[in-house]
Amino acid sequence: MIQRIITILICCAFISCATKKNSVSPQELDTLHALIKSKKINIVSHRALPIMSNAMQQVLNTQILGPGNSGSSIDIMSTVNYVKIAGDSISISLPFFGELHSSTATNSNDHSISFEGKLTEFSSTYNDQKKNYKLLIHFKMKRERFKMYITIFPNHTTSISILTSHRSSIGYRGAIAKSN
């Protein structure tokens, strides 16, 4: 009898934790909707998530990345980085870790993802079930084309995935920066 009561209590605890995890306040949703509607978004990333490849494994083996980093998760909090969207313009400065498939598209001294200009394509989709926005952004620099997928969550954390024509894909985790 005591075992059944303990089992029921444990099940209730798990159910209540799972229910609270997905709850989003109306204020958080209103703030999220207003942010997307304003099209004034400033994202700062905390971690870069390159695709683990032989080249990244070799970098990892050198121990150059430092403690708390791995070949598939690199701390970039001390690196100036941003994705700023203002209307139909975008400004991007993100460090790149991964493989270049063609060096003709990039500056030979700087392989970061740096762009400032007009968006080629921009769309936003709200997922009512997950309570987040997905942004799809296309831009082009020199001969290289980029597709950027940004997911913005109600707590203002972000997930960015970048696919490109001349590099391995990479992801970033971060947050919406506070306005000054």
What's the pTM? Answer: 0.80
Question: What is the mean pLDDT of the segment spanning 124-142?
Answer: 92
For 98-154, the DSSP string reads S-BS-GGGS-SS--SEEEEEE-SEEEEEEETTTTEEEEEEEEEETTEEEEEEEEE-T
Kind and range of the H or E run holding 176: strand 170-176
Domain range 26-176, its CATH number among 2.40.128.410, 3.40.50.300, 2.60.120.260, 3.40.50.80: 2.40.128.410
Q: Quick: pLDDT tens for 101-132.
A: 765 555 555 678 999 998 889 999 999 999 99
Nearest to 169 by CA among 22, 82, 48: 48
Question: Domain extents for the chain?
Answer: 26-176
SS3 at position 26: helix
Listed ranges 10-14, 57-61, 164-168; the one with the highest mean pLDDT:
164-168
Residue 160 CB neighbour total at 10 angstroms: 23
